Amino acid sequence: MYTKKICSTDKEFHDTPPQFKALDRKRFFYVESHFKQLITQNVRGHANIVYIIVAYGYFKATGQFFNSAIQEDVDYVAGRLKLKQSFRWESYNTSTRNRHREMIIDALGFKPFNQTTIQPLLPLIRTDARSQKNPDKCFISVCEWLFEHKVETPDYKTICDTVESVYKTHMDQQIAVVKNKLSNNGAQKLDALFSKGKDTYDEMETYRITLLKKLNQSTKTSKIRENVAIYDTLKPLYDIALPIVSELDFTKDGLKRYALSVHRRQVFQINRLKDHDRHLHLVIFITHQFQQLVDILVETFLASVKTAVNKAENLAKEEYYKQRQEQSGHTQALVKDTVDLVSLVEKLKETLNNPILSDSEKVEKAIRLISPSKISTENVNSHVKDVQEDLDKISGQALEMLFLEEGATSLQLKCSDILRRLNFDCDVKSNKLIKAISQYQTKNGKVDDTFPVGFLTNSETGYVDTKDSFRAKLYRILLYKHTAAAIKDGTLSIVNSNRYRQLEQYLISREYFQKNRDHILNLANMDDFKDVSKLVERWELELDAQYKETNEHILENINEYIETDGLGGFKLTYERNTRTEVLSEMENDVALFPDDQYIRIAEALSTVNAASGFLDEFEHNSIRYRKPRPEDKNFLAGIIALGEHLSVPKLSKLAREIELATLESTTNGFFTLENLRRANDAVIRFVNQLPLAKVFIGDYGLQTSSDGQKWTVAYESLNANKSFKYGGRDPVVSAYTFIDIRGMFPYSMVISGAEFEAHYMVDGLLKNDVVKSDLHSTDSHGYTEAIFGLTHLLKFSFGPRIKNPGKRVLYSFKTPSFYKKKSYPIFPKERINKDKIIDNWEDVLRLCSSIKLGEVTASQIFKRLNSYSKSNPLYEALKAFGGIPKTLFLLRYADDVGMRKAIHRQLNKGEAGNKLDRALAIGRADYVQTIKEDQEIAETCKRLLKNVIVCWNFMYLSKRLSEAKTDIEYSLLLKKIKASSMLAWEHFVFHGEFDFSQNSLKDSQQIDLQKILDPDLIKE
């Protein structure tokens, strides 16, 4: 398809014929023999022949007929037919034109656009309506679908009317649900959100709906109380909204878009909507906000309990060590007293048994020996008393219980209101802990000796329920502690939560999977894994073959870069560059980037946007937005403000021709995470078209890697954890970023600094649509056996850089002795549990299908599986299976020094990307955003800046290659480019005054897109 026609929703552009270049005319106005025969048989007159060929060429390129034609095209066709007279499209008779259109449609195998032929298209439009996709984006999808399915593309109005009709029908159905399900009383309660509380005339009062928008991320008692107050306001509204939202036909993305539109709109904008439309917005917003709030309250509860328990443990340790020092001094004093007394007794014995002394002399000497100056009874008694007190002092667990009890009041203020409101998805009768929680909720947190203690350990019960009293404070904090532990390990799940549901609720249901197994596996591209018995046979053969190949290469000295230890382990060595290679690189050194001028980041953004059109991906968060779109410079300014850790107000002060109000409305209305990710994708898609980008793809294909970089957060955030190593006393997040071998950044996310990164690696690989990785690498912390298993089933090639690979456990289906008998220097340590894999294979497939089809993310499910790891058979089976691809990789890793070097080089690119991250953060060295999505918006803006820098570098170097005057100059330049990184940024200016005037945004390098996109640019 001629791509020009599917990339715009502009009416005039759509309904205007394509602008052909010379090669296009030659291609599309070529008439195949079968159509030439039709023309000869059915078309009369030179003019009609010219017109039908022009219409034929246009339709072949776009699948669309036009009511006009470009005169140059008409003249070109007439010239090819060797007709000298002049032809005007306006002379083309309407009835003749319609008859010719039927001929063209039939000749090219298309179908006319009518209600019958577009029936299969309507579900696609409805899906976009369910997702609340912008109608302009839907318009483009419709054009693509029509051409792909060989259906005539009609004019702009017809497509718009079709899209609008489906969208309107869908919306009318959702409005009908609200009308039917929402009672008058419920509507009144929703509309009450637009009041200002007690004194509606006080201009300083805040609207109730505004108060519901801001959910606190702090664990301070006052902030928790604010969240609890919001919960109490939302809960009755949620009970009204949930039954309605359950009946609505929106996707998760569609619901999120509605909720976000309410969140970002001003109160008057929502209030002025028609009644049922306003109520539709409100019920979705309330449902989304309530479920988010439940997760925040749970996270707050867990964080508060963890802090209190850690504090008690630390205080207990400090007290214990302090007591040990005091006890040591007391004991030493008593020991000294004992030694002195023993010495005294011996001297008395010696005196009394001395035959030389008379009785009076013995008495006199004994009195001198026991005089106060020699030994003090008072001191001895004091030392004995000290030691006795030490023995009576509590220590160990008793100390911890004491400090837990001392901190109970503070923790109760934070956790009591939360625990009383959480709704647990658990059978009360079968769970001892839930019985205690239920009674706690029933009695509004007032604990007495009637509360059950069955969930406590025996030792804890002894401390709580003593003979003398029932320690209610200690019981309360132990209840919090056990509840937090049960939530984390999955014993307790939370109703209305997104993060803490039961494991089965994340997955495709077992019944549905069994009923539709083949269809689901086909959708997930997992047909290869249906028959586990045949798979086990194949895996056994693959492992045997790899053990043989790796070991034979060692025995035959083909693999020179490995040392074995005789115990089945090995150590790897690496090839170094020779002095000749180093000198050769120095001799061929060529300066790549301009050293006499600097490129301002705003200019780079403008230049790359002109090439890739990434700003077209920014759509307003409301599909009903009809105001004029802000100028491009406001989008560029917003990207810089967030990507460089500058605030929007600060950037507006540093920038020319940028107004704060316009910039704020642009970032609030258009800067969604989805838009920014699509903008990044647009830049990468453009780079994918550049011939120069392909020279970096080596023997292992398009390599990618991922790594996290720690950043402190300026304020309290539930998405951040304290880490003294990375942030001292400040909370820390990790910006987890993906990079490919060319230096492009296809995906990123912001996670807690304490999270295990391996699970998020799978999320990123699945969500990245523009870079299909042939080999993905991480450092050692980025892998587990379960991750090896999952990536294999999802058909990703996973190759981490593993520390001490020779010490890792290798597996096989056969016993280790089988390989030892062959005198193999490398042999397995453990056998694969084949039965465990086979018995749980259906659940493993169900898990992977759920992840692949987007029912759940890998990070969500692995958080649950990790907590079940000791007993969950699904997780154990996935780990057992993961031993197979892990072993295959380790054996290949040991055998292929080229792979090891390629992985190492790729991970070094990630380190270079991290340095560019720091260089861009000119505003401040931390995040000021506290909410995860806001942090990810800032990170994705920064990723867009990095992609623009790399893209500009590719464009500039492509320009230099196209301008090389000699073959030698071209060859040296290309060789230098291949050996260099596209992550260079020394020639860019990231700071100073930002000038967004038209002159400053012009491309100073005058890069010719046609030349840099020329497939013949690279001459190997």
Coil, strand or helix: which one is 525?
coil
pLDDT (0 to 100) of residue 582? 43
Length of the chain: 1020
Question: Higher pLDDT residue, 313 or 369?
Answer: 313
pLDDT > 90: what percent of the chain?
56
pLDDT (0 to 100) of residue 581? 46
Cα(854)–Cα(851) distance, integer angstroms: 5
Average pLDDT over residues 946-968: 94
pLDDT (0 to 100) of residue 686? 94
Cα(860)–Cα(759) distance, integer angstroms: 8
pLDDT (0 to 100) of residue 577? 54
> In sequence order, which ranges of 248-396 are alpha helices (DSSP H)?
252-264, 267-271, 275-352, 359-369, 377-392
How many other C-beta atoms lie within 10 A of the C-beta of residue 781? 13
Q: Is the pLDDT of residue 618 over 70?
A: yes
pLDDT (0 to 100) of residue 1015? 85
pLDDT (0 to 100) of residue 722? 78
The answer to whether the beta carbons of residues 298 and 499 sit under 8 Å apart is yes
For 992-1015, what is each residue's pLDDT tens digit?
A: 888 898 888 999 999 999 899 988
Q: Is the pLDDT of residue 835 over 90?
A: yes
Q: Is the pLDDT of residue 46 over 90?
A: yes
The answer to whether the beta carbons of residues 920 and 945 sit under 8 Å apart is yes
In DSSP terms, 470 is beta-bridged to: 465
State both tokens at 655: 């920038």
Cα(496)–Cα(90) distance, integer angstroms: 65
pLDDT (0 to 100) of residue 6? 40
pLDDT (0 to 100) of residue 711? 92
Cα(762)–Cα(739) distance, integer angstroms: 14
pLDDT (0 to 100) of residue 201? 43
Q: Is the pLDDT of residue 1020 over 70?
A: no
> 830: part of which helix (H) or strand (E)?
strand 830-831
pLDDT (0 to 100) of residue 199? 44
- CA atoms within 13 A of residue 573's CA, in its CB half-sphere: 8
How many other C-beta atoms lie within 10 A of the C-beta of residue 274? 9
Q: What is the mean pLDDT of the chain?
A: 88
Cα(113)–Cα(599) distance, integer angstroms: 50
How many other C-beta atoms lie within 10 A of the C-beta of residue 230? 21
How open is the CA angle 595-597-598, to the nearest 5 degrees?
100
- By mean pLDDT, which of 376-390, 521-535, 675-689 is the weakest? 376-390
In which band, very low, low, confident or very high, does the pLDDT at 78 lie, cut at 50, 70 and 90?
A: very high
pLDDT > 70: what percent of the chain?
94
For 496-532, what is each residue's pLDDT tens digit?
A: 988 888 888 889 999 999 999 998 998 888 999 999 9
The answer to whether the beta carbons of residues 492 and 422 sit under 8 Å apart is no
For 402-436, what is each residue's pLDDT tens digit?
A: 889 888 899 999 999 999 999 998 755 558 899 99
For 716-747, what is each residue's pLDDT tens digit?
A: 888 888 776 777 778 899 999 999 999 999 99
CA-nearest of 141, 520, 776, 357 to 348 is 357
For 266-305, what is each residue's pLDDT tens digit?
A: 888 888 888 999 999 999 999 999 999 999 999 999 999 9
Coil, strand or helix: which one is 927?
strand
> 541: part of which helix (H) or strand (E)?
helix 532-555
Average pLDDT over residues 120-130: 88
- By mean pLDDT, which of 113-127, 389-403, 639-653 is the weakest? 389-403
Cα(162)–Cα(51) distance, integer angstroms: 29
Question: Higher pLDDT residue, 428 or 867?
Answer: 867
Number of H helices, E strands in the chain: 45, 14
In DSSP terms, 579 is beta-bridged to: none
